[in-house]
């Protein structure tokens, strides 16, 4: 990163995806920290989001995200929903706080999940 800063000082480096050996767990942590930073810098709901104000749950890192069928959506007026499909899914639960729905989402996760894997090797 030092060499990049020296060569292109106008580039803003975030550290996103810059982890040793592309370790999947560290990549997931890097992405999460990036989302948290973006949310803190923007006029956003109280939780980090990916796109369309939705937090998606996946078993692997980018580029091959595999959705687990759980989507936490932020809506105007401070309402949050947990659904089983992006955009037009069945609403599994609603709450006034995102934290409440994260707890519900964890209960909906499959019991056989292991550690996060690399999206590059995902089928």
pLDDT of residue 52: 65
Please give the helix or strand (H or E) that residue 93 lies within, else none.
strand 91-95
Q: pLDDT at position 123, please?
A: 47
The percent of residues above 70 in pLDDT, for the chain, comes to 83
Instruction: Look at 33 and 121; give whichever has higher pLDDT.
Output: 33
The one-character DSSP state at 106 is: H
Name the pLDDT band for 121 (thresholds 50, 70, 90): low
Lateral strand order in the sheet of 67-75? 54-58, 67-75, 79-83, 91-95
Facing residues of 51 across strands?
Answer: 54
Percentage with pLDDT > 90 across the chain? 15
pLDDT at 107 over 60: yes
DSSP state letter for 37 = H
d(CA 52, CA 24): 25
């Amino acid at each position: 990163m030092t060499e990049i800063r020296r060569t292109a000082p106008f580039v803003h480096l975030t550290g996103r995806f810059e982890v040793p050996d592309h370790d999947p767990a560290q990549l997931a942590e890097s992405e999460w920290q990036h989302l948290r930073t973006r949310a803190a810098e923007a006029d956003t709901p109280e939780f980090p989001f990916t796109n369309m104000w939705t937090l998606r749950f996946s078993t692997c890192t980018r580029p091959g995200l595999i959705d687990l069928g759980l989507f936490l959506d932020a809506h105007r007026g401070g309402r949050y929903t947990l659904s089983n499909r992006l955009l037009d899914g069945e609403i599994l639960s609603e709450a006034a706080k995102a934290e409440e729905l994260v707890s519900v989402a964890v209960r909906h996760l499959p019991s056989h999940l292991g550690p996060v894997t690399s999206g590059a090797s995902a089928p």
